[in-house]
Amino acid sequence: MFTLDAMVDAIQTGKKTFVNTFVTNEKAKDAMVEFIDTQSEYTKKALKSATDAVTTITSETVKAMQEAAKFDYSKFGEGIMKAYSATAKK
């Protein structure tokens, strides 16, 4: 199954491979790899939060639509017409 974490890991692995291949200074290499790891951790948390938010919003929207579908619009219309008729007779 496709997950966003796998995509993040693939990109970050590519970055690490590039750094390990082309950066010769060990201290710079270590700092860059540590930054990439931190960036990966942050990105995964941000994506999880966004995914959770979208899931919750979608779920609540579906619930609201289901409740709206249960509303009896014909009875509502009849009630409005009765109220209008009662006011018009006065």
Task: Give the mean model confidence (pLDDT) for residues 38-44.
Answer: 97
Instruction: Give the pLDDT confidence score for residue 90 in this predicted structure.
Output: 61
Token output for 25: 């200074």
Distance between CA 34 and CA 71 in Å, rounded? 56
pTM above 0.85, yes or no: no
Q: Is the confidence at residue 1, as pLDDT, over 50? A: no
Task: Give the mean model confidence (pLDDT) for residues 19-45.
Answer: 97
Q: What is the mean pLDDT of the chain?
A: 91
